[in-house]
Amino acid sequence: MIRNDHTAFLVLKAIADHLRDFLIILWNKRQTILLFSIFFFIFLLLFFTGGAYVVWSGERARVEKSLEKYRSEVSNFYDSFQPKSIKILDRSGTVIGEFYRRNFRPIRTDNLSKNNIIIWSLLSSEDREFFNHSGVNYSAIIRAVLTNLVQFRLSQGGSTITQQLSKLTLNLGRRNLFNKITELYCTFYIESQFSKEEILAMYLNQIFLGEGNTGVEEAARYYFRKPASELTAEEAAMLVGIIPAPSVYNPIRNLGIALNRQKRVLYDMARNPELHPAPKEIPKKFNDQIEVNIKKFRSIYKVKEFKDDDGNPRYTSEIGKYGADKDFRINLAPDFNTEIRRFVLDTFSEEDLEERGLVVYSTLDLEKQRMAEDALRIGIDGVRSELSKEEREYSSKGKSDLSELTKTILPQMTGSFISLDPETGDIEALVGGYKISNSFRFNRAEEARRQPGSTIKALVYALAFEKRIVNPSSKIKDEKLDISGYSPKNWYKGYRGDMTVRTALAQSVNTVSVKLLDQIGINYFLSKLSSILFLPEDEVKSRFQKNLSLALGSGELSPMELATIYATLLNGGRRVVPRKIIKITDLDGNEFYQSPTNEATEQILDPVACAMAVNTLESVLTEEGTMNVKKISGEPNLFAGKTGTVQSPKVKKSRWAGLKGVRDVWFAGFAPRNVTVVWVGHDEGAPFPGSGSGVAGGIWIKFIQNVKTRFGFGNRLITPFVGDFVKVDVCADDGTLLENTPTYICKMPLYQQYYYIGDLPPKRDGFSKVETIQPPTANEGQSENTEYNESGERVSPVTPDAVELEPPIIDNPKALGTE
């Protein structure tokens, strides 16, 4: 018993010894890990702080120079300096634009008291402890960290106005811990060198507030057409609301979000009256009057809310309506000049902009620009006239709701126009919207994305030619299709059986385009589209659904992008990069910028296929096609193009329910060394009477005839190239060779048409006359076909023309086409 107890004791002692040794080892390891962690943390701290200090030391001289310049701006003696202007010249040397980096007096320390409203809203929203901290608000940082941890997202920041000024001055790019520490050095430097009033004034002059506006003075004039000192609390709150994310919160881009931010800032102001530099100036019962004053603000700026087809709230207003012209002393091409101004301000330093004086040599042709503006204005006025007739008809029939709805659509009809040289990419005319005054807000030519309708068929046919699936003379059948549940309809009644590929494009036959895309392959089509427009893969996926309705224009393109596609076709398949600027010099002629040219660019499409596509598009402008442009007998074919008409979707609960019409009309046209794209429509998709041939085509033909009369054209549409082709004469009636066929037998002879070697049109059997296929009659008695005489005047009556595009969304997910 004693022996057993002793044995148990020894066992327990051994276990205890092992446990003690284990704990000692564990403790030693823990100490080691702890010490290692401490040293590693110290190393990281020294690495980041030391590295940040090295960066700060390298940037300090530049920052000091910038800050001294900012100080001069906010000092009383700044007005003695007169900055030099930046001039924009058209290609003939005419001044079409002149602007200054700033054409107003900035906020200064001696006029801060005149800007009490903007200061009150800024401090209430961005930095309530500004006059109490030394550059960093540690309690705000801790509060922001805790809030973000609780919400598991970055919902709140803790940076002060001084920190934001250091960020603006350093401009280190990406946000990370290393750059944040570097900014801290700059923050402490600013606090040690400048008074709070100077810091506040400098910040108010340097903060970016969206739409190219730097500083509250510039932004106040852009958005509200008044100096910052005259802003109301509501206007100041909207400006301050932009600061955290200018691309998201500015009222031009996202008015609904901006209005919510405005209300939040106003209530922050009401909770912090002590932050007003002169609290006695605050109106009595400011808090109680916020909602009333917001309603007044919305009335002044005509803020209107409506629901889109999906029930989402949308807004319109006159905020920023006259913003474009505030920058310019001379502005003869507002949309074009605005883009050049943005490029210049982003590219050159403030010293270059204010001290050197720059001259921008642009690609624009002012005469062609005026022709484009006149043609677009006349075309849209015609649409408005038709809408006015419809409004009167609704009123006479007692349909007051439709009459009022048409009244709201009528003044908002707009359009865009882009004309460029396909060989150089030079933009010769650009109009971003209907010209009411000399002010523009939205450059639809480059920024608006709409469904291009049948204009996209030009690329579908070019790719079908490139893959040698068909040639222009091939026979193809217009018939009912059912491809995995997708059955496209034509814009006319029924199906017309066998026809040539040339006729199918001339008459914009939907079923044929879908057939061709199915054989080309959707992936191949999208890869070529991506290459032409230089689009990343993720953007292609977001903008273009992978289904066969792409053949009918169900993706989204801007007029500039469509012009680039057509320019690529006319440029023999070589990449075209549109450009606005040739070079930029100073007043002494010293060159600072030279834009790249389109020489030796990538070959994206086969040049023979492109030439065949251009030849085929010529047929669109004949009596066989949807837009018959009469030409003088014996004159060569110098024009080609494609119409596009997109119908309004049939949505019962649509805002436009009960109205008839189309949603978008397009024309993309070729002339020697010229590609022009016209779009007409309503920004919110309201229906209106018209078609690609009748409205957009009419605008194009007026412009191109004026250009021809004033400047003349070359004698050929397609520039010579080297390739695997022959040129033959063809009878368009049936696609056969014209060789040995009496001319009186063929109604529509075509000369010097491009075909691949070994893929020639068939010879005609005998000399029997073939009747030309007549243009079809559209559904419901409407006509897609429009005729123009030799002078470019419309011959056919103005009627609500037919649509070429069925609703683009394919309900059957299996209808993705074969590859």
Confidence of residue 800 (pLDDT cuts 50, 70, 90): very low
Residue 562 covered by a domain = yes
Residue 716 covered by a domain = yes
Confidence of residue 154 (pLDDT cuts 50, 70, 90): very low
pLDDT given at position 152:
46
pLDDT at 181 over 70: yes
pLDDT given at position 171:
79
Q: Is 428 helix (H, G, I), strand (E, B) or coil?
A: strand
Confidence of residue 46 (pLDDT cuts 50, 70, 90): low
pLDDT given at position 348:
85
Q: Count how many residues are written for the chain.
A: 819
DSSP structure class, residue 358: E
CATH code, domain with 729: 3.40.710.10
Cα–Cα distance, 720 to 571 (Å, whole number): 10
Cα–Cα distance, 574 to 606 (Å, whole number): 9
Residue 38 covered by a domain = no
Q: Are 808 and 552 in contact (CB under 8 A)?
A: yes
- Full residue range of the structural domain in which residue 769 is found: 400-775
Q: State pLDDT tens for residues 276-316.
A: 999 999 998 999 999 999 999 999 999 988 776 667 788 88
Residue 457 covered by a domain = yes
Name the pTM for this structure: 0.73
Q: Indicate the number of domains in the chain.
A: 1
pLDDT given at position 155:
44
Residue 594 covered by a domain = yes
Tokens of 189: 């430097």
Q: Which of 66, 127, 47, 341 is nearest to 213 (CA)?
A: 341
pLDDT given at position 197:
93
- Across residues 7-33, what is the average pLDDT? 62
95: Cα within 13 Å, side-chain hemisphere: 12
Strand intervals (E) in 280-387 = 304-307, 313-316, 328-331, 358-362
Question: What's the chain's average pLDDT?
Answer: 83
Q: State pLDDT tens for residues 627-639.
A: 888 777 667 788 9
Cα–Cα distance, 88 to 99 (Å, whole number): 9
CA 802 → CA 197, 274, 550, 625, 784, distances in Å? 65, 65, 19, 14, 5
Residue 649 covered by a domain = yes
Q: State pLDDT tens for residues 654-697.
A: 778 888 889 999 999 999 999 999 999 998 889 999 888 889 99
Q: Are 97 and 185 in contact (CB under 8 A)?
A: no
For 153, counting Cβ atoms within 10 Å of its Cβ (0-12 exposed, 13-18 middle, 19+ buried), the class is exposed
pLDDT at 500 over 50: yes
pLDDT given at position 119:
95
Residue 697 covered by a domain = yes
Stretch among 25-29, 92-96, 733-737 having the lowest mean pLDDT: 25-29
Stretch (H or E) spanning 503? helix 501-506
Residue 414 covered by a domain = yes
pLDDT at 441 over 80: no
